[in-house]
Structure 1
């Protein structure tokens, strides 16, 4: 069975907990920023909440465990309510990925604090494994959602940055963009297009987090990651 999963079987509970938190906070961030810019659509549909049941897509969550990529239920946004649709649209779109990057950083902070205050990392291997997955998955979700393919947040940001004539053309070919993304994501092409972004990106952000938290490391007897 393990050969059909994107993660080792022993880590599935950690992955599930991480996704519950990551997807929920991601979609809540979209809903919250949209509401702050005057759009009550998500709030009226019960999406301005930190309850996972309001945000998770069962199939999208299962697909991450099996295939390594998936999705939550998209938060509905009505741009009609925005006074400045382009600016508000960009901020609403980027709020989700940024929330995952913040979660990754907070995960690293908590892990450093665990070490600082005496958690025995040698006997708490499960704790290390959880925080390692929590940090990596959230950074990957940050990077994944910024890819410029529909229906990801990166595409919506790119769309709002484009002039109206180009934006109209992008809308016409959006279905082809979705198809192109799926082909790249589920074929060996992902090893050459998406995987390098993840590998470089995850290492880059962990290095940044590590440099920001370096003073804490100096007070511990060990390092992290």
Structure 2
């Protein structure tokens, strides 16, 4: 199991070369996360009968279609960001509430699927390196670290984007089941979603309350999710070591 270094670096201020090297090596994982997340949401929407995301160019793995410049800069600098907003048209759903929930849940599902794939690649590289003795090769180690960081990025952002903030996944899931009149009352809040997002980021940077929120809203859920995602790999290791 990789050490939980990614989250700690996001919440601490380092000026060392290792910190910035980790930031650089994290960029591929960040790009891949938003590209796959957006593509998977568009694909699920299309399967449910909604072709609007495809028409808007989201049914692709091209990062240009999914990365928001400001969101990506924030992601690199502070550890959390956002991609381009994707519009959906629930009028084409056969069962609006159910299909709407499926579409919304496709976003965190994409993050978990991607994390599983990234850890699988990391695990295969680890086994190959162990049996061939090339773990000491610096280039090989960097490649492994890229996939390790990508794994933690996928889980961290999946959990973060599932927080009940306006525009985030769990907020959209709750709104999906609310009566229309109640949703209209929440619309005024959504207009300030960017400021709420920035305010929450600032809270995470505060010494006491930030540590508390980071631990219980992000770090513990990410650790639990990582434990679940890596169970198949642990089982394989147990079988091979018998």
> What range describes the TM-score normalised by the shorter chain of this pair?
0.7 to 0.9
Matches within 5 A, 1:5-154: 8-117=19-128, 118=131, 120-123=134-137, 124-154=140-170
Question: Tell me, what secondary structure is at the counterpart of 1:213?
Answer: helix
- CA–CA separation in structure 1 for the residues paired with 2:55 and 2:192: 32
Equivalent position to 2:224, from 171, 187, 204: 204
Shift in CA distance, 112/66, structure 1 to aligned 2, threshold 3 Å:
same
How large is the RMSD of aligned CA atoms in angstroms?
Answer: 2.5
Structure 1: distance between partners of 2:88 and 2:15: 36
Structure 1 residues 71 and 180, CA gap change in structure 2 (3 angstroms): closer
Give how far 1:137 is off: 0.5
TM-score by length of 2: 0.80
**Structure 1 unmatched runs, 5+:** none
Contact 1:184-1:193 at 8 Å conserved across structures: no
Q: Structure 1 residues 209 and 45 mapped into 2: Cα distance closer, same or farther (>3 Å)?
A: closer
Q: Distance in 2 between matches of 1:3 and 1:196?
A: 23
Given that 1:146 and 1:154 are in contact with CA atoms closer than 8 Å, whether structure 2 keeps it comes out as: yes
Structure 2: segments with no counterpart, 5+ residues: 1-12
TM, length-normalised to structure 1: 0.85
Which residue does the alignment assign to 1:161? Answer: 177
Query: Who is 2:3 aligned against?
Result: none
Task: Tell me, in whole angstroms, the C-alpha distance in 2 between the residues paired with 1:178 and 1:166.
Answer: 21
3-state SS, counterpart of residue 125 of structure 1:
helix
CA displacement at 1:212 relative to structure 2: 2.1
Give the CA deviation at 1:173. Answer: 2.9
Residues 130-178 of structure 1 deviation map (CA, whole Å, 9 limit, x = unaligned): 2221111100111011111111112101111223443333234333565
Report matched runs for 1:168-183 at 5 Å.
168-175=184-191, 179-183=195-199
